[in-house]
Structure 1
């Protein structure tokens, strides 16, 4: 699609034509796949948001479905006539609520991220996992709220979230001449427009200063901090923007289904979204789109068709065991198997950028030669005049240290890790730093 950052006109035109013509071809063929493809695009939007957190900033988030739920329930709370508050009703427009849901999710992403983003790696994953488990439980328990203050009940039996039954119905968008009630094609074009806008915004963010800061933190947080990047602020922005995409997708999802229940936002949704990002290629927009479409369509269409095919074969050949096969119950086995295969064959993902060419493309002798070959020395005329020094002047400068630091100190709160350290490294000398575990050697080098 692109060459050196420029879009190839012909493939782009063919892709746009195919996307615009698809729902009408589907209707003519009576394939009835528009509903599943629309759901796949919703999950692609979610995966794009998770890609900010996992792919760009390098933060392992195992509770991303919680923001999906927050966006969906924001739509349900503000656009459903069944809940018991004067605030809830059809006075709120879908077109307003969808932005409110994104802002609410982003705000909660900041609230959750602020105290947790100081931890890294497995600890961050555990905290986000706990958050993802708390939100569905809270939703289930907010269906019957009573506040009793010494016998005075300002709130009694308030149905805030519908509890286990969820919210049903949820209002749908209104546009003159467009039927969102019985026709799936308007939903397809709406999510297609939202996805195109999100993809454009994502590509701009990726190439911006903020996107470069995310990638710098992902590769080496200490080095990024030394170059002026604020790690906490940058990671908070990643969390907030990623959560806003989930809130946007959640509100759209609730309006499309016209009903939401807490069971739709369990831990397995977070894992499926993470599979989409990893399968397609972390940090790759094309990869995330490819991974999201493949996994969702495999789950919604291909597994059901394969189950139907196996059952029909079982009936035709008279094997009763085949007539009871249900491959949809094995979806997580197939997802896991696919991830293992991809990690073994192509660790960077289906559409990720290769960090090195395949071994088969490099001759073994040439590879060994490349590893030991020294870089070519520059010609004398290519060296600037101010860098050329006679041997005598070089001998004089040898008396100066290569590196000299004085009074190096580092504190972590009340813990003094490095205290008033002096270091002098002479030319052509070797200096060793020796100490027991916990003495502060790594902290010293990071400084």
Structure 2
């Protein structure tokens, strides 16, 4: 059920969502021809009921920036479409106050055969604006979208970035009371994203209400007052932005740690191995600075690779070596105990060797780890595990995203 009011409520709410659920029918069999469809009309089609949202409730205050986060398929976009009346809820109710403008998905509300100019007027009328109002705002909309040369071109010839620029320019300039934005802004280039963020901040300073879905968690942390975290269509947590983002990241990191361990096991099965086996490597494990076993680290973290071995006879002057490759094959490093001037007289029985990196310089990505035992000449391999182990680096304090390694440095300007 929808209720829309033109004036502000006594409670100062911009939107109120009560026990909203939304289901879709997923049909198992689809007709491949008109004849087949006609014959099936007499039969009851089987379907599976899929609940995209289950009992979602929250309030959005006037002038509040309210965020919605969650993994893909968690129901975020479905919820926004219900708020903007694209969908009706299966159960529950929604009450909104004032005019709502939404930017939900690429090309939404645009007719591909119409020009940019015609679509501005079409979108404006859908949002409840009169032609005179659109006339007054038209130049500002086109200027913000940076489409002066293409405004009379049919939008079917527009790129995805041009679509987004025009859609956002219309949505933000119709002076809505509530602005609803989905992840579509991620399509734009860096310049346009910056302009959009500035416009959103201006909108926020004018005490307008913003409801936004995004995977850019740091931006959500800074922009939003409160955040709702959805998980498989159900509210997982609702509260202050920083607290909810941190809880969500903790959950994601836990899942990715388990995924990294699974990848490590899988890659270990497909790596190469060779050697005479008088001494064997029985396994490699990774630990953090607290001695906790893990396969996922952050740039600048401490990593200790423990190489376990078993000797079938006494080995004189062995050399232990490792190598690290990025998943695309780039060779990062290949040190060994001989080069490091670590003298090992002999080994026998079982034991382990630790290779420790006090501060990982590696940037975000997946890395393959090799371990080997050679004779003192480094020509005869006792056991060589080539790219049989895997660990992953995620972004931490270091935000660099280009290249392979972080080089500590400083900037100065005069």
Larger RCO (alpha carbons 8 Å, 6+ apart): 1
So what's the TM-score if we normalise by structure 1? 0.22
So what's the TM-score if we normalise by structure 2? 0.23
Greater percentage in strand: 2
Greater percentage in helix: 1
